[in-house]
Structure formats: structure tokens, C-alpha cells
Amino acid sequence: MSSRDTNVSRRKFLGAAGGAAVTVGLAGCSGNGDSDGSDGSDGSDGSDGSDGSDGSDGSDGGDETSLLRYGRGSHSPTLDFQNSTSGEVAKVTEQIYDTLINFEPGESTLTDGLASDYSLDGQTASLTLKEGVTFHNGEEFTAQDFVATYRRFVDSEYEYYAGDDYVSAYGPFTLGSWIDEIQVDGDYELTIQLTQTYAPFLRNLAMFAAAVHSEAAIEEYGTDLSENAVGTGPFELDTLDDSNEQVRLAAYDDYWGEGPNVDEVVFVTVGENSTRAQSLGSGELDIIDGLGAQSSQQVDGYDNAELVRTEGINIGYMAFNIAAVEEFQDRRVRQAISHAINTEAIVNEIYSGFATEASQPLPPNVLGHNDDLDPYEYDPEQAQSLLEEAGYGDGFSFELATFQNPRGYNPSPIQTAETVASNLGEIGIDVEINQQSFSPYLEYTAQGRHDACFLGWYTDNADPDNFAYVLLHPQVEESELTEGEDWVSFDAEGYNTSNRSAWANREYMDLVEEAQQTTDESDRVDLYNDAMEVAHDEAPWVYMDYAEELRGVANRVSGFQIAAISGPYLNLVSLE
């Protein structure tokens, strides 16, 4: 092992922490184009013009290779988990890469990953790593790979730092803000000193963005890891076909864990939900996600597939860009809009009962959800009264940005946007809908160019911090805040772009920060209850819905585990 400094100090780089074609026989499957995220989504067409005659669909009888075909609404714009907040990226990278700690499939409990033993005592996390694990490039996994991965994500002084314009917002809130120093003892022992007591830290290590790169691959590829993924996971990259929006993976024979039980996996993009469902029914796809009401009913009616559903851990919302729109800086306006939008009708009529109305950022099955809070009642008269009280009785106009193709928490984004525009038109507010494909949409909203936007969030670790802090805390220094304002500019140093509302409410921030440092569960519940009351009353979002997790699964698939956290666990899947 080459000689390196085995003690990495956060103090050295604290500022940075803040601051080939695949054929699957899907001829005729087309969509209207888009992409996806831990927050929003859609996709483009899955047609490659092929008739499947090469046998790669696994159905010609002459090819004994087992191929699992996973259909989704959006392509992955990158294969580097440090380069994206997208759930579509995570679906693929979770097959290629491993984390130090895992979630039990389909559960929120932690289990070992690349670490065989782990503990958190105050501000010290201790981990013992598995021996004999190899990356897809043949390199042995050691503690130094995690150190290099961490530094690439948050350390601007590191030679192989991926760059401010490359790394995602996950860097600070997953690792960078909490790690003070990493000590390495030999190849398989890690001791991580935290900057403060931070209750969710071990759960953060199980998040897709905390997976481990090969140090050798970091040095060889740099940011080209976005298309040259090298992990320790059950599958390795075979082909990335951006032109046809497909990703093909091959089973990794030296995988350390369970499986894989199929030879290949191909992720196929089919933008239209109904077309994706038809492809499942015709036997062209094995597993599909991103289902809306109509496509779920299609799947439910098939004899060769079933609709699998479970309670989700997610939130769908409309964020106000408080920093950009003067009217939104008055909470009465935000409350008025919340009363004017008929979220009950949207959930029941558009989402067809696969979701429930939301009342606050934390879903009902997450610690700290405040059961005493109700969704904003649809009340146009109250909305009009609040507008008049705020001095905007004659109305105003704003742009509502939306992604095009469905997400689980917003399965009909265009219809939802049209409903919002219609509802607000009744109280004199003119809404211009701006539809975009998801990859540029994420960039557009992350830069704060929207007035308001649809987004949502699937939990990374089932901890309330993953919603309350990640989505609504600006994560800037006190000097960036202005007295008397509860918003902050997207241009502020170190601003957390996952906070698409630019909200910076000090009472809320204090409660969430205290909850991070509290290890007693009942005390955390109280703090988050109070924080949720503030978030409800201040209304930086219109709280739309909490959605079920829905998948269409062919009968020939066995071992598939639907999961609200992490996954999909395709290493456990077999084909009959």
C-alpha cells in the first residue's frame, strides 16, 4: 500500500464543505422525453427501432443469458452518485456501488454493507471494514478508498476534488458538514470524528450519495466517472447508451454479497406511463416504476404481472421562491395560495387515491410528524381575504415551473399544474406554466430561476433530518442572513440549493439544528413537532401529498422487494 497521510482534517477544507447501443426489443415504445430525481422526474422515448431479433430480450429461446428489463420514465444523466440528486441516478448507481452501511431491503433498519461492524458514540463513529472486497477494476477495497471518496466530494484542496460545479448538494448535508477528521488505522479500520453530536450520521452513511468510489478510479477518470462507473456492487457497467437512453449492466462475478441472480440488467427509458405499462403487459419489460393512476390500473388488470404497492416515505410539494417574488415574502400570500389550491381534489381525482393530502414536510411514518396539523382546507373565500389583507386583493402573476413526466409523488404533473392555475385564477392570480424536461428542470430550479416549482422528495435514510434540514434549511452562515427577512438569496455563500423556496426562518432553523444534536428520541419528537408547526404556519411550500410506492412486476420475476428507502434491490431478483 502506498504511503499517504492517513489523518484527514475537515479544518483544511471547511470552506469547501459549505460552500454503445442497447437493444431490448421495445420497438414502438415512445414517450415525450424527460428525467428524474430524489425530487422530481420524467423521461423520453424508449424506442431504439429494434425488433428484438438479437435475442437480447431474453425471449428467443436460443440465448441462455438471463436479462432483467427495468422500465422507468427517465434516463440517468450521470452515473456518478456525487454528481446528482436524482433518484434515477440512484436506481442505477445502487446496483454498481456499495455503501459502508446498508438498509435492510424494504425496511428502515440498518445492516452491514462494506463495513462489518459500526457504532456511534457521541461525536465518534467507529467502523471495521470487510476484507477481500474488490472493485470492478480489480482493486481491493480499503479504508483509503472511503477517504479518497469523501475528499473528492467536499475537499477543494484535494488534488482530485471533483469541482464546485460538479458535486451535488448532497456533499455538505451527507458528510461534509459533520465530519471533522477521519483517522485510518491500517486498511480496515476507520474512526470518524464529528464536528458535533449528529444523531443521523450512521444513517447518512447508508445513503446512495455516501457510496464508495475506487481511489484508483478517481485518479484515473476524474469527473469522467460520470460515464465510467467503477464500484464494488453486484453489477458492473456494460454499456451506457445516452442516445437511446438505456443503461446496461452485467453481473459482477466477484461480488462479496448476496446475488446477483441474473446475468444482465438493462434500464430502459419509456417516457409515457401508459406505454411503459403496456410494455410490461406485453412481456417486453419485467419491472416498471413511476406509475400514475391510469397506468397502475392497467397493470392491476394484467394476468402476467401484478401491481405491488407499499407505504411511501415521501413528500410532493410546490415551493415558493420567496427570494425572487416579492408577493411570496408575505406569509399571508403563501397561506392564501395554500387555501386556494384544492389539494384534496388533486389527490383524490387526479392521483386516484394512491396518495394522501400533506400537511407538513415530514411524512406520517417519519419520527416527528406532527399529528395535530391538518392540511390547508380548500377555501377560496379565506384565500381572497388573506390576499386583500396582504395588499394583493387585485391579484398578481407568477410562473409555475414543472417537470413533464410523472413521479410517484406527482404522477400527473401537467394536469396538476393546470389545476393549480385554474384554482388560483379564481382568486385573481395568473399562473404561467413552464414545462421542462427533468435534467434541465433540476438545474433551472437549483439556480433559483423559478418563481414557484413542483418538486418532491423520497427519503434517503428515513430520518426527519433528511426532510427538515435537507429541504428547508438554507445551511448558510449567520452573516448571510438579513435581519427581518425569512429568506435568503440563492447566491449566498454555501447556500443549500435543495431548499428551492429560499426560506430561512430562524425559529425553524434553531429547532432543526437542536434536533440534529439530540439523541433522545422523545426529545427529538418534541423538537420536530414544533418545527413542523412553524413550517405549516409559515407555508414556504404548498403541501401537496404523501404517495404510495407503486411498481409493476412481471410474474416471471421472483425475489423483488419493493422499498421506500434505497434500492431497487435487483441483486435479489431471479427470473423464471
Q: What is the pLDDT of residue 234?
A: 98
* Residue type at 60 in one-letter notation: D
CB 245 within 8 A of CB 231: no
Q: What is the pLDDT of residue 276?
A: 95
Q: Is 7-17+98-217 assigned to CATH 3.30.230.10? A: no
Instruction: At 293, give phi and psi (nearest 5°).
Output: -60, -50
155-199 tens-digit pLDDT: 999 999 999 999 998 998 899 889 999 999 999 999 999 999 999
How many degrees, rounded to 5, is the angle at CA 85 between CA 488 and CA 474?
A: 15
Q: Mean pLDDT throughout 415-424?
A: 98
Residue 575 has pLDDT above 90, yes or no: yes
In the structure grid, which three cell numbers stand for residue 59, read together? Answer: 425471449
Residue 29 has pLDDT above 70, yes or no: no
Give the whole-angstrom CA distance, residue 7 versus residue 350: 54
Residue 68 has pLDDT above 70, yes or no: yes
CB 182 within 8 A of CB 17: no
Give the whole-angstrom CA distance, residue 227 versus residue 512: 37
Q: What is the pLDDT of residue 4?
A: 32
User: Is residue 74 very low, low, confident or very high in pLDDT (cuts 50, 70, 90)?
Assistant: confident
CB 81 within 8 A of CB 208: yes
User: Is residue 95 very low, low, confident or very high in pLDDT (cuts 50, 70, 90)?
Assistant: very high
Q: What is the pLDDT of residue 271?
A: 86
CA dihedral 434, 435, 437, 442 (to 10 degrees): 40
Q: Mean pLDDT throughout 425-442?
A: 94
229-260 tens-digit pLDDT: 999 999 999 999 999 999 999 999 999 999 99
133-154 tens-digit pLDDT: 999 999 999 999 999 999 999 9
Looking at per-residue pLDDT, the higher value among 247 and 5 belongs to 247
Question: Which residue intervals of 50-98 are DSSP H helices?
Answer: 87-96
User: Is residue 86 very low, low, confident or very high in pLDDT (cuts 50, 70, 90)?
Assistant: confident
User: Is residue 352 very low, low, confident or very high in pLDDT (cuts 50, 70, 90)?
Assistant: confident
Q: What is the pLDDT of residue 353?
A: 78
Q: Which CATH architecture has domain 314-547?
A: Roll (3.10)
Q: What is the enclosing helix (H) or strand (E) of 547?
A: strand 541-547
In the structure grid, which three cell numbers stand for residue 322, read together? Answer: 420567496
In the structure grid, which three cell numbers stand for residue 282, read together? Answer: 406485453
* Residue type at 236 in one-letter notation: E
User: Is residue 87 very low, low, confident or very high in pLDDT (cuts 50, 70, 90)?
Assistant: confident
Where on the phi/psi map is residue 99: left (φ > 0), alpha (ψ -120 to 50), or beta?
A: beta
Give the whole-angstrom CA distance, residue 249 versus residue 227: 13
The string of DSSP codes covering 45-57 is ----S--STTSTT
| Residue ranges, CATH 3.40.190.10, the chain | 20-95+224-310+549-575
| Class of the CATH domain delimited by 20-95+224-310+549-575 | alpha beta
User: Is residue 30 very low, low, confident or very high in pLDDT (cuts 50, 70, 90)?
Assistant: very low
Q: What is the pLDDT of residue 288?
A: 97
Q: What is the pLDDT of residue 52?
A: 37
| Residue ranges, CATH 3.90.76.10, the chain | 7-17+98-217
In the structure grid, which three cell numbers stand for residue 347, read together? Answer: 389527490
